[in-house]
């Protein structure tokens, strides 16, 4: 069940995310990202996998 998104769809997701961050402004961007992460965790319905994704996102910051 480990599906990957194609590059074009990933680029579109990146663009949409950047637009949403810009739309909410710097004072609310962190709140937006937390809300998005929690919605994604709920949609994923796998807390272990979500923990893995957090670790991946922390790499190379």
> What span, in angstroms and rounded, lies between the C-alpha atoms of 44 and 33?
16
Q: Mean pLDDT over residues 3-8, rounded?
A: 89
- For the cut 90, the answer to whether the pLDDT of residue 59 exceeds it is yes
Task: Place 1 in a pLDDT band, splitting at 50, 70 and 90.
Answer: low
Residue 4's pLDDT is what?
84
> What span, in angstroms and rounded, lies between the C-alpha atoms of 3 and 9?
13
Q: Where are the alpha helices (DSSP H) in the chain?
A: 7-24, 29-44, 47-58
Question: pLDDT digit string (tens) for 20-38?
Answer: 999 999 999 999 999 999 9
Residue with tokens 């579109």: 12
Tokens coding 57: 């996102």
């Amino acid at each position: 069940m480990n599906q990957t998104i194609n590059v074009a769809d990933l680029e579109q997701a990146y663009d949409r995310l950047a637009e949403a961050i810009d739309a909410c402004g710097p004072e609310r961007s962190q709140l937006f990202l937390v809300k998005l992460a929690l919605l994604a965790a709920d949609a994923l319905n796998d807390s272990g996998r979500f923990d893995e994704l957090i670790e991946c996102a922390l790499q190379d910051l």
